[in-house]
Structure 1
Amino acid sequence: QPLPAALWRPRRDNPPQPIIRRGRRKPGGRAIARSAAAASPPAASSSGSGALSPFDRGLKRKQKNWAALQAEPAKCDYLREEVGGRIADRVFDIPRTFPLALDVGSGRGYIAQHLTKETVEKLIQVDIAENALKNAVESEIPTVSVVADEEFLPFKEDTFDLVVSSLSLHWVNDLPRAFKEIHQVLKPDGVFIGAMFGGDTLYELRCSLQLAELEREGGFSPHVSPFTAVSDLGHLLSRAGFNTLTVDTDEIQVNYPGLFEVMEDLQGMGESNCSWNRKPLLHRDTMLAAAAIYQEMYGNSDGSVPATFQIYYMIGWKFHESQARPAQRGSATVSFGDLAKINGLISRGKK
């Protein structure tokens, strides 16, 4: 189903382009460390002509396309489906119907499968990976697929009643800009509900790889990408123009047979590392040492090992005159000193 022309943002002659800072890479060899997972750009990365680009977005697109073309792509979707369901629960908590919604970084439609037509009448799904959109899971909501970058949404201002995003924004190079783009396409009194990985995600894998590499090779490189701190998330949303903010955290722990299974599933999720400064190769003995360290430091009594995924959930509204505002300073009619007499005050009010 084609997207109505009225929703598209007018094409500009000179659209802004991110400045890419390419890290040094050693030639040859398969990058075993690329299966180490995911995270987000530093919250301090700035926008504009001096912006840093820590992630190779072209490689991330290839990783997600590869994962979507596997024989059983749903085999590694358990985490995305769980978080997508929790995002949908937050949408259901808002007692209204959204005529037009946008899913930023939708992947195979992990949020759409949990929504209903009574809540969202039409959903636009946006992702950089066309194979993920082609192999989207079924949903009862009418959907339209658009291949686009999360940092450069091709829609007009004040278009959508709702914008959702699940486990995608941690791979954008310019998170402040992405939040501003989302705020721009929202209608006044529209709401953004999103989720992204937090700072404690895969700390077991990170520590095991670093200790093993330090022991076997005399130093270590980052194999798990940097994450945005929860203390910065509210500030970034506020700076983008959102108000009535809610930010909360949650943890999901998954048990695996060992380190190699953790990395295999991360690759199947399309969550392999795509940092420009990633190390292209980890030696075999380093990987074996990391697996032993993982088991020794974090192993469960049944022989499995845990992998922790910390999730940040965020809700932000675009300003509208009808929204509730704080009362004016000094307008209170009851003193805090009268709180002990609150029952009596309520009784008098009822009379």
Structure 2
Amino acid sequence: MKFDGAGIAITGSGSATPKAVIHNDDLSQLVETSDEWIRTRTGIANRHLLPEDSSLSELAAEAAKKAIAAAHLHPEEIDLIILATSTPDDLFGSAGKVQQLIDAKNATAFDLTAACSGFVFGLVTAAQYIRTGTFQKIVVIGADVLSRWVDWGDRTTCVLFGDGAGAVVCQSSPQDQLLGFEMYSDGSQNECLNLAYDGHPKYLIHDVSIQKGGYRAITMNGREVYRFAVAKVPEVIEKTLFRAGLTTEDIDWLILHQANQRIIDAVAKRLKLPSEKVIANLQEYGNTSAASIPIALDEAVRAGKIKPGQTVATSGFGAGLSWGSAIFKWGMPH
């Protein structure tokens, strides 16, 4: 629903990835695997890992600063910061710390947790604030440091994940550039991909016991997640196109969550999109969860691939299980 006729335009992007790189051959020294095994099954060659003396907040702030600069804005002009992450520095949230790091002193800030769908869900959330006239300039950040929660002795998961952050600036616009979106969840498949709490009973007093603990490493049923993604992602993009009154021929670029090259290829084939319209960078970064779409978007914009006015279809999918799609035109309309 629109209260004042405001639309949303996505006007700037930024990204940040750690300098430290772990190659497939490096992983073969940790677990029984090989470069060929990893590449043929996932398409991943490298992953960037955050060093022990850095934080998710710093990585997210770097991406946000770049996006704000690209949108030709100053940090104090930002009204809202939405940080999509599943790996905050603080369980109470890290968006406030990002606000302080980028000196966006006039911005409200909060975390949004939707795992690998987080960026798409965050973008849609930002659009509602802008469309209702509540805020005019919003930074949406997707950032995750999954290296913190990977079991580096589990060869089925440690080869997949990397760290990174990507961000976009959304602004009020007389012409709405978010053409359509769809979001879904299915908690019945929640156990397929987890970073679960591991609690132990602790007796206090008067027969009162509570639970104390931490979190386990990431666990995943790769086969089920693959089947889920290949079925649901083309479907949600097709529904979004229908809602927007578009066809696949209207898509200039497709950017999917960078989980597995086979998933990306299968979705593009189902949508009958040629490979030259598909943007993928998981070979270099692996699965960076909520960061994967905005990192790929930012790199394509800065490389001159994505141009103002072009139509970009995105889809995030993952833990929850959750999935969604957002289709938008890049840049502020003239």
**For the pair shown, which has the larger CA radius of gyration, 1 or 2?**
1
TM-score w.r.t. length of structure 1: 0.29
Q: Where is the strand percentage greater, Structure 1 or Structure 2?
A: 2
TM-score w.r.t. length of structure 2: 0.30
